Structure 1
Amino acid sequence: VFLNQEDREKFNFTCGQFAMLSVLGAGEIPIGIASSPLDDEYLQFTVKRYPTGVVTTALHSLEEGSRIGVRGPYGNFYPLETMEDKSILIVGGGFAVTTLRSTIRYLLHEKNRSRFKDITVLYGARSPGELIYKSELKQWEERDDITMYITVDKGDENWKGRVGLVPNVLKEVAPSSENGIVLVCGPPIMLKYTMLPLLDLGFTPERIVTSLERRMSCGIGKCGRCNIASKYVCKDGPVFTYRELLEGVESDSQIFLKAEGFEETLDQDKLLHASCRSCR
């Protein structure tokens, strides 16, 4: 909740952007915005505590009512206008689902739902305990205007849901790519093994939209912490189409892709086949 309403009114963001959160004496870190732009009364962030993370530990140690700094919003965003009148597939893994949660809330809002066709969500985590937004996931599962697939890599004695890695479940459920666009965000290893199944399902590289995570410091493309070749994830991204990542495979982009863990998807015959559309 903003202390100054004027600051809240100036903080205009859209789905996919991030902000820099700061704690006095600890520092600041980039965190994706988890609330929807239509959540007028508050901003929401989901922060995972890391044992060696000074700022994440400081944030988790705060009491209700404590003050933190918020700088932003920064970065580009998901192509919401392009997504209109299309079927939407959302694939998320772990804590990287935060900006996707923002997007789902936006898509399902009563003001927006009619602008989009089918919405399918595949969300996975390593274990049941690492699934986040559990109450909201349950609410979405009970709706008839969204299809949910929730999976964990390894269940426990209380888990009654699906067990399987996200790329494998993606192959099993095989959502249609017809008139579709996919948003995918997760840890690098998940992204690495999700791209080829998406291509096999018929999603062309320009219809695969991903959000990349890199270590950032300034958030405005000045410090060089998040650069890969000529790209700055905080400024040129964090949202990229897979086509953007593939452009100029012989130049910077190959370095970019390999740095993000996509090297095994650089099968040009498969990519050309996915782009030609002649067999669909």
Structure 2
Amino acid sequence: MLKVLAKGDLFSPCGHRSPGSSCHRRGSSSVGFLRSSSLAIESGRTSSRNSRFYGVKLVLGTSRGNHTKGITVSSPVQMTLSIGKAMKWWEKGVQVNMKVIESAQDLVDSLLNAGDKLVIVDFFSPGCGGCRSLHPKVCQFAEANPDVLFLQVNYEKHKSMCYSLNVHVLPFFRFYRGAQGRLCSFSCTNATIKKFKDALAKHTPERCSLGPPKGLEESELLALAANKDLCFNYSKKPGLVPSTHELAVPLSTKLPMSPAQRATLDSEEMALLVGSGR
């Protein structure tokens, strides 16, 4: 944008047109004003947004015929674009008892740290239409049941983990509680939301578990540990299955019993050995 000021159209330092003022009578005053304005802008003392010359090319001087003599001032236009981050559909309506799972270790720890609280694991995908339409109702269930923990697992971010957990249908839900571990698992949509309501009504009542929280099944934990795409370590717990040596010892030598019971048991063991051909 170019704006040319005529000889009688100069601005005084105070910002008013004054053709008869001393600033107009002396040409050096306009140059001095220009220099002082330039220094003020460079030193930051004058706000560029409040400056009348911001973003405008200004020519000061006198016009003679078709030619203009003077000093050209150019102030660059600065633009700041502030674009807000759009909220994703699975981020809308989220309640305080809804948690986003970041890793396999996070899922395991969240289940173990829940105690006797009911935990619902919600597997969803951003591109799943059924997941998107069901999400507002899941948020409503979470708001109506503040004592229930909802864990959200993004299938697109954790495909490998979901594959190890045998999750292949979306939307998909799994219910866990305390020492009982997994209570149920199912897939549902808005059309079959009754399955979710029934499961929530059945498992919501408080109960005390005998033992520590179980969380995932051991087979699932081993599958997660065997997945090279996941940073998850797990060692198989020692089982309570008797060893081969213990199975070879006759049962009559391990149980306290009377002589008559021992004689009867010995005869039964002998019959079993004869029948097996030993």
- Normalising TM by the smaller chain, what interval? under 0.3
Instruction: Pick 1 or 2: higher relative contact order, CA cutoff 8 A, min separation 6.
Output: 1
Q: TM-score, normalised by structure 2?
A: 0.19
Q: TM-score, normalised by structure 1?
A: 0.19
Larger Rg: 2
